[in-house]
Amino acid sequence: MLDALLAIADDPSDGEVTRHTKRTQVAMTWVSLPAILVMMVAEAAVHGVRALPSPLAYELVSLGMLAWLARDARRYATFRWLHPLVVFLLPWVLQEWVGGFVASGGVGLWGICGVASVPLFVEPRWFGRAGLVYAAVAIASVAAEAVRVPTRTASDAAIGALFALNTLGITAFLFASVGTWVELLAAERARSEQLLLNILPQRMARRLKADRSIIAEQHPDVTVLFADLVGFTVLASSIGPEELVAELDRIFSAFDVEVEARGLEKIKTIGDAYMVAAGVQEDLPDHADRAVDLGLTMLERLRELRPDGALRMRIGIHSGPVVAGVIGRARFAYDLWGDTVNTASRMESHGLGDRVQISDAVRERLRRDWALEDRGSIEVKGKGPMRVWLVGRPG
């Protein structure tokens, strides 16, 4: 029941932060109803029935807005600024109606809650403007108080009680607002952290946050894997752009899972090519075996995802030293450089479809038993003759 009351503004397309913001405003609106009811009773006890119209109007308007929102969640775009406006205006109306700031126990101060709602639910950039409007109204109220003919009939004790009640209510609202701000900021920070980790390895992300200077590392022995989809260009010419991107995302997302499961690092995608490194984020004695296992698994996953055989894959692997680092200022990029990277790329481009080709350097580092097929020496651009191997699972 409670969840249903809070979810009246939910939309299936909402992100976590948006849904939290919506539910917070709806919750505050629901909670304000009994709170204002208490204030209405207190003001009526001091000023009689003439104190009823403004808080009663708030109750009816708020209930009406909630019912209106519940019928169509898309109306939240209007609700999010309309409700703060009501919270801002009606306390001032009540204050003037019952005889001013002192006579009402400072009920107009509730208007600050409407101002506090602006950066939370409307637009942070409008907060200053809302504050100026509040200041102008408050100054006008003070000026009116100075020239007002005293008409108070309530005792000082009753007026003091109203001040205490109003102050307590406003303080509670502001504490709730600050708490909401903290939660939203924490959620946004977590999301930003995750976005950064989607771009950079964790260690590099930590260093980048601590120091914006050039970040570079030398790795004496890692394994680099390149994979390229064969037949993707033909497929791309036969399907629409959305279907093309969706298919590439489906395949590469499956590869991402396998990379993470082996503790390896996805470096980047280049068109329909996929690059991974083993041993750059932590020392892995079996980095070559992990890369080979990943390559063979990628071929298996591709066959599962495309049983029609329309897409095939060449995979090349090489081991050796690399330089790793973060470049760019407007858009960060983590990358690897060195002869090892170039040679791994050549292993892929000189390879065979649906096979994993490795250099002799990779073979020398393997610790597990693999089915190796010697292709002999092939001419590799920029390297000359190199001995290469095709690798498969044993048995």
| 193/293 same-domain check | no
| 33/176 same-domain check | yes
Residue 242 or residue 185, greater confidence:
242
Q: How far is it between the farthest Cα atoms of the chain?
A: 106
Q: Report whether pLDDT(3) > 70.
A: yes
Indicate the SS3 state at residue 388: strand
pLDDT tens profile 183-225: 666 776 777 776 666 666 666 666 666 566 667 789 999 999 9
- Please report whether residue 224 resides in a domain: yes
Residue 369 or residue 174, greater confidence:
369
| 159/126 same-domain check | yes
| 232/277 same-domain check | yes
What's the token pair of residue 139? 């100054």
| 90/190 same-domain check | yes
| 232/326 same-domain check | yes
| 185/235 same-domain check | no
- Please report whether residue 153 resides in a domain: yes
What's the token pair of residue 94? 């009540």
pLDDT of res. 118? 79
Residues 6+ apart with CB under 8 A from 121: 21, 24, 25, 80, 81, 83, 84
| 93/64 same-domain check | yes
* Single residue among 150, 167, 197 that ends a domain in this structure: 197
- Please report whether residue 202 resides in a domain: no
Find the mean pLDDT for residues 318-338: 84
Rounded CA separation 108/138 (Å): 8
* Single residue among 145, 163, 197 that ends a domain in this structure: 197
First to last CA, the chain: 59
> What CATH number should be reported for the domain holding residue 306?
3.30.70.1230
* Single residue among 197, 224, 259 that ends a domain in this structure: 197
CB 280 within 8 A of CB 222: yes
| 56/168 same-domain check | yes
- Please report whether residue 146 resides in a domain: yes
pLDDT tens profile 345-365: 999 999 999 999 999 999 999
pLDDT tens profile 93-140: 777 777 777 666 677 777 777 777 877 778 777 777 877 887 787 777
**SS3 track for 27-52:** HHHHHHHHHHHHHHHHHHHHHHHHHC
What string of DSSP letters covers 306-331? -TT-S-EEEEEEEEEEEEEEEE-SSS
pLDDT of res. 333? 76
Q: What angle do CA 334, 341, 291 make, to 5 degrees?
A: 90
pLDDT of res. 128? 77
pLDDT of res. 334? 79
Strand blocks (E) in 71-208: none
CB 323 within 8 A of CB 341: no
- Tell how strand 312-327 and strand 355-359 pair up: parallel
- Please report whether residue 31 resides in a domain: yes
Domain count, the chain: 2
| 187/225 same-domain check | no
- Please report whether residue 332 resides in a domain: yes
- Please report whether residue 88 resides in a domain: yes
- Please report whether residue 209 resides in a domain: no
Q: What is the pTM of this model?
A: 0.58
| 65/103 same-domain check | yes
Q: Give me the chain's average pLDDT, please.
A: 82
| 235/158 same-domain check | no
Q: Which residue range is the domain that position 149 belongs to?
A: 2-197
